[in-house]
A and B are shown apart, each in its own frame.
Chain A
C-alpha cells in the first residue's frame, strides 16, 4: 500500500468562520465612551475598584459591575515589553512598546501601545497619556486610542504600583 513517491504530506483546507461577537453590557458602555474620547470603566459599587476595560464582573468578588465610572486618559506604566516579533494581525511597526498602563482612577491595568518614546527610556513607573485618533476616526474600538505617549510628570515609585503588576 505504501507508495512513498506519491505520499501526501499535507493538504490545505481553508477554514473561514465569521462570528458576531457580543461585547456585553459593561463593555458596551466602555466602547461608547471611546467614541467620545472618554474612558469609561465600571465597578460593582461605591468604593469597589474600577475595572477598565470592564468584562462584566469584579473578578475578586464575582459581583456584577453595575456602576459606570469615567477614568482619566492619563496613567502610569506598571510594566512593559518591547515587541520585536511580527504577527499577521498586529498593525504596529517593529519594534514597538507594549505597556500595561494603570489609568488614574482605575483599579487594573490595561494593555496598549506606547509611542513617541525612545526604546531605552521606557521604564516602569513612567507617566503617559492617551493620544486619540482624529475625531472623524473615532469608533467604538480601543483603536480610538492611537497610542499612549510620555508626559512631563514625575515617575511613580514601583512600591506604589506593585499591587497592580
Chain B
C-alpha cells in the first residue's frame, strides 16, 4: 500500500444555511485548497459524497460541480454516501498509482426537509416504510435494547451529551455547545424514550473538504504529515430484527481490518449521532473506557448528514497535525442503528 497523507481540511456548519449548496460549498473548497499549498488544477482526482433525498432533488450533486472547479474537465466520481466513503474511493484511486493527489468534498443540507422522516425511507420499502417510523424512534429502540443489555443508565447517556457539549465549546464549527448540568438534562422530557433531545443529534447544514496526497507530496506539503495508516468499511444486514442492535459487528470488523488495535490510541472521533451509539462503538472498536472520545463535540453537537463522517476524520487530522496526539481513530456511519461503518486510523509523523 502507498502511504497517503491528509494535507488539508476545511468545514462549515450552520443550523440552517441561507446560501444554496454552491454558495456554501465553494468557500470551503477554496479554504481547503489554499491550506493544502497546491493549486486546484494540480489536484488530480475529485470525489464527493451527498444525497439526493436529503436535498429533495434528483442529481443534486450535479449542480455542485459549479463550485468545485470542474473546468477544464476533471477526473471525478461521486458516491451517494457520506464524504468519508468518498475519501475511501480517493484513497483507493491513489493506491492504483494513477494519481498522487485528490480532493474530497461532501455537503449536506438537512434543513429543507424533515430529516427524521426523510431518512426513514432507508428502511425496507415493502414491509417497514409503510409504518414510516422516523429515525429518532428507530434509534430509541436501539437505545432501549442497549440499556437493558449493558446495564448503562440514562444518566450515562446524559453525561455523554454534557461532555460532548462542553468539549464542543472549543470547536468553532460545533452548533450546540456549552456547560450543561446533567441533572437538568435528565429533567427534560423524552423525545423517543429512553432518548431525550440531548441524546439526539443537532442537525446542521454544511460542507466539508479534504485534500490528500501520496507520501512524497504529502511530506512536501505538510509541517507534520498525518498518515492514513488504515481505512476499511463494512456493512451489516439491514433488517432491524436480524442483527443484535446492541452491537456493531461491521464496525468491529472494519476496526480490525484498519488495524486499530495494533498500537496505542490517543483519542477517537466517532460518528455517533445518538449518545448510546458512542458506547456501542467504544465496545466495537475495542477502545479503553477512559479514552478521550469526540474532543470536537462530535456528530451529536452538529451533524451535517453525509458530511459528518468526513468531519470526524478531518477533526482528528487537525488535532494530530497540531501535535495534540499521535495516533487516532476516526469513524463514520451510515444507515439506521450503525448499519454501515468506516474506520480510519490516523498517525502523525
Contact with B along A112-144 (1 / 0, CB 8 A): 000000000000000000000000000000000
Known: A17-B114, A19-B113. A56 touches B66 (CB 8 A): yes
Find residues 49-82 in chain B having any chain A CB closer than 8 Å to their own CB: 53, 56, 63, 65-71
**Is A89 close to B, CB under 8 A?**
no
**Is A47 close to B, CB under 8 A?**
no
Residues of B within 8 A of A13 (CB): 125, 129-130
Known: A57-B66, A59-B71. A27 touches B27 (CB 8 A): no
Contact with B along A50-64 (1 / 0, CB 8 A): 000001111111101
Kindly state the separation between the CA atoms of A19 and B16 in the bound complex, as whole angstroms. 13
Number of interface residues of B (CB under 8 A): 33
**Is A20 close to B, CB under 8 A?**
yes
Residues of B within 8 A of A64 (CB): 23, 26-27
* Partner of A56 from B19, B114, B125 at Cβ < 8 Å: B19
Q: Shortest Cβ distance from B249 into chain A, in angstroms? A: 29
- Please, which residue of chain B has its CB at the minimum distance from the CB of A64? B26
Kindly state the separation between the CA atoms of A69 and B66 in the bound complex, as whole angstroms. 19
Kindly state the separation between the CA atoms of A101 and B42 in the bound complex, as whole angstroms. 36
Residues of B within 8 A of A57 (CB): 22-23, 26, 66-67
Q: Give the secondary structure class of A's interface.
A: loop
Q: Known A-B contacts: A22-B18, A23-B20, A55-B66. Give 18 more (CB < 8 A).
A: A13-B125, A13-B130, A15-B121, A15-B129, A17-B117, A17-B121, A20-B112, A20-B113, A21-B56, A24-B22, A24-B23, A25-B18, A26-B23, A56-B22, A56-B67, A57-B66, A58-B66, A62-B29
Could you tell me which B residues sit within 8 Å of A by CB distance? 17-23, 26-27, 29, 40, 53, 56, 63, 65-71, 109, 111-114, 117-118, 121, 125-126, 129-130
User: Top 3 nearest A-B pairs by Cβ distance?
Assistant: A24-B20, A19-B56, A56-B22
The 9 listed contacts between A and B (C-beta, < 8 Å) are: A13-B130, A17-B114, A19-B56, A20-B113, A55-B63, A56-B26, A59-B66, A62-B66, A64-B23
Could you tell me which A residues sit within 8 Å of B by CB distance? 11, 13, 15, 17-27, 55-62, 64
